[in-house]
Amino acid sequence: MVLNGRVQGTVAAATQKRVLDAAAELGYTRSALAISLKEQRSRTIGLITDEIATSPFAGRMARAASVAAAAAGYMVITMDLSLRDHTVEDAARLLAERQVDGLLYATMGRMRVRRPTIPPGIPLVLLNCELERAGDEEGPEGSRAADGAGGVPQGTGVDLPTYVPDDHGGARRAARRLLETGHRRIVMLSGDDQSLGVVEREAGFREELAAAGLEARILPVGWQMDDGYRATARLLGEPVPPTGLFCIRDRVAAGALHAAAAAEVAVPGELSVIGFDDEDFFAERLTPPLTTIALPHEEMGRRGMEALLELLGEGGATAEEGRQVIACPLVERGSVGIARES
Give me the CATH number covering residue 303: 3.40.50.2300
Burial grade of 40 (CB within 10 A; 0-12, 13-18, 19 or more): exposed
Domain assignment present for residue 190? The answer is yes
Residue 156: pLDDT above 70? no
Is the distance from CB of 129 to CB of 108 less than 8 angstroms? no
* pLDDT classification of 35: cutoffs 50, 70, 90: low
Domain assignment present for residue 307? The answer is yes
* pLDDT classification of 316: cutoffs 50, 70, 90: low
- Taking the C-alpha atoms of residue 206 and residue 246, their distance in angstroms, rounded to an integer, is 12
Pair (128, 237) in one structural domain: no
Pair (177, 136) in one structural domain: no
Residue 215: pLDDT above 80? yes
- Confidence at residue 151, expressed as pLDDT on a 0 to 100 scale: 35
Pair (269, 187) in one structural domain: yes
Q: What is the mean pLDDT of the chain?
A: 86
Pair (135, 91) in one structural domain: yes
Pair (291, 173) in one structural domain: yes
Torsions phi, psi of 67, nearest 5?
-65, -45
* pLDDT classification of 157: cutoffs 50, 70, 90: very low
Pair (58, 118) in one structural domain: yes
Domain that holds residue 192: 167-295
Pair (143, 242) in one structural domain: no
Residue 147: pLDDT above 60? no
Pair (144, 97) in one structural domain: yes
* pLDDT classification of 2: cutoffs 50, 70, 90: confident
- Taking the C-alpha atoms of residue 83 and residue 138, their distance in angstroms, rounded to an integer, is 24
Domain assignment present for residue 58? The answer is yes
| Range of weakest confidence among 58-67, 122-131, 164-173, 177-186 | 58-67
Pair (204, 254) in one structural domain: yes
Total-model pTM: 0.81
- Taking the C-alpha atoms of residue 320 and residue 308, their distance in angstroms, rounded to an integer, is 9
- Mean pLDDT over residues 324-341, rounded? 94
- Confidence at residue 138, expressed as pLDDT on a 0 to 100 scale: 43
Pair (67, 110) in one structural domain: yes
Of 231, 285, 290, which Cα lies nearest the Cα of 263?
A: 231
Domain assignment present for residue 5? The answer is no
Residue 209: pLDDT above 90? yes
Domain assignment present for residue 277? The answer is yes
Pair (195, 144) in one structural domain: no
- Mean pLDDT over residues 330-341, rounded? 93
Domain assignment present for residue 7? The answer is no
For 244-282, write each residue's pLDDT tens digit: 999 999 999 999 999 999 999 999 999 999 999 998 889
- Mean pLDDT over residues 93-118, rounded? 91
| Range of weakest confidence among 93-97, 141-145, 198-202, 290-294 | 141-145
Domain assignment present for residue 34? The answer is no
Higher pLDDT, 19 or 83: 19
Amino acid, single-letter form, for residue 77: I
- Confidence at residue 42, expressed as pLDDT on a 0 to 100 scale: 80
Domain assignment present for residue 199? The answer is yes
Pair (47, 69) in one structural domain: yes
Residue 132: pLDDT above 90? no
Tally of domains in the chain: 2
